[in-house]
């Protein structure tokens, strides 16, 4: 059992991993929030050949820079391999952590051996769902070996969930932890649909789950317009699912 008396004690036991790709517009705010919560923890930044100021920002916060050229699946797997601490936290580069006690609370939750993951939910989000990696704490030893295939560029948490399921581990959710500022939502449904097909093949249960997630995301947004847009978003998702080779990569350089 790992000591979780406070973020100072937790620092040596937790590695924070941020996967980046031309993330300069949001990364400074993200890493500032990470350092406020965990000033001394190891920070790994796995970058997908960014061409903006991403790497300079990462270095200014003491990030250890690693590069990959395959996609988000390889980036997440590399994080799992590089972390040597008992706990590993994924933080998306467009996320700001507003609940600085998240890491302490999440680590305490993982002291319960029946849990294998803790998700930090968005501010004001009432509905929990799935395994979003925007803010996600895991135990390192639950994810030894190959977990995520290199060819995956989205829905990489499908494979993290499979590992949790194989071990009979549950996911806990902590409310009001983050603000998420994604800049890629206009084209994300096709991208996620394509990678859902690549990850799990043609699977009716997974398609139903993805529709449920979209509905819950619409409810969490608090916007009637967003909720009404769910059918259109799902049709875009299905377009990517039907044409995975066309939509499997998301070029964020021009988005």
- In this predicted structure, what is the pLDDT of residue 222? 87
pLDDT band at 3 (very low <50, low <70, confident <90, very high): very low
Q: What is the mean pLDDT of residues 212-241?
A: 92
- In this predicted structure, what is the pLDDT of residue 251? 67
Question: What percent of the chain shows pLDDT beyond 70?
Answer: 92
Reported as a single tens digit per residue, the pLDDT across 134-163 is: 999 999 999 999 999 988 888 999 999 999
**Side by side, which strands form the sheet with 14-20?**
64-67, 42-47, 14-20, 87-91, 135-139, 115-122, 170-180, 95-97
- Asked whether the beta carbons of 172 and 223 are under 8 A apart, the reply is no
Return the ∠ at Cα 52 (arms to 49 and 56), rounded to 5°: 90
pTM: 0.89
Q: Which of 13-17, 59-63, 173-177, 217-221 is predicted with the least confidence, judged by mean pLDDT?
A: 217-221
Contacts 24+ apart (CB under 8 A), 123-127: 123/98, 123/176, 123/177, 123/178, 123/179, 124/176, 124/220, 124/222, 125/175, 125/176, 125/220, 126/219, 126/220, 127/216, 127/219, 127/220
Residues of the chain with CATH 3.90.550.10: 7-180
Third-level CATH fold of 7-180 = Spore Coat Polysaccharide Biosynthesis Protein SpsA; Chain A (3.90.550)
Coil, strand, or helix at residue 106?
helix
- In this predicted structure, what is the pLDDT of residue 187? 57
| 204 has a pLDDT exceeding 60 | yes
- In this predicted structure, what is the pLDDT of residue 57? 97
| 6 has a pLDDT exceeding 70 | no
- In this predicted structure, what is the pLDDT of residue 255? 44
């Amino acid at each position: 059992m790992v000591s979780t008396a406070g973020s100072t004690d937790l620092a040596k036991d937790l590695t924070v991993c941020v996967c980046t790709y031309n993330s300069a517009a949001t990364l400074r705010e993200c890493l500032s929030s990470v350092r406020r919560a965990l000033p001394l923890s190891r920070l790994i930044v796995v970058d997908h050949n960014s061409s903006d100021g991403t790497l300079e920002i990462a270095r200014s916060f003491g990030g250890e820079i690693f590069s990959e050229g395959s996609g988000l699946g390889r980036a997440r797997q590399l994080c799992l391999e590089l972390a040597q601490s008992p706990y590993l936290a994924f933080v998306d580069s467009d996320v700001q952590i507003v609940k600085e006690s998240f890491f302490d609370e999440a680590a305490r939750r993982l002291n319960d051996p029946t849990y294998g993951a803790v998700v930090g939910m968005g501010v004001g989000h009432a509905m929990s769902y799935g395994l979003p990696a925007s803010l996600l704490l895991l135990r390192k030893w639950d994810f030894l070996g190959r977990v995520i295939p290199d060819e995956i560029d989205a829905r990489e948490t499908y494979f993290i969930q499979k590992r949790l399921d194989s071990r009979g581990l549950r996911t806990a959710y902590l409310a009001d932890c983050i603000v998420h500022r994604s800049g890629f939502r206009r084209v994300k449904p096709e991208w996620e649909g394509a990678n859902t097909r690549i990850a799990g093949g043609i699977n009716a249960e997974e398609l139903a789950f993805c529709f449920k997630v979209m509905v819950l995301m619409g409810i969490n947004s608090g916007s009637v317009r967003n909720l009404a847009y769910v059918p259109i978003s799902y049709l875009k998702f299905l377009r990517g699912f039907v044409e995975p080779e066309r939509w499997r990569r998301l070029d964020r350089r021009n988005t």
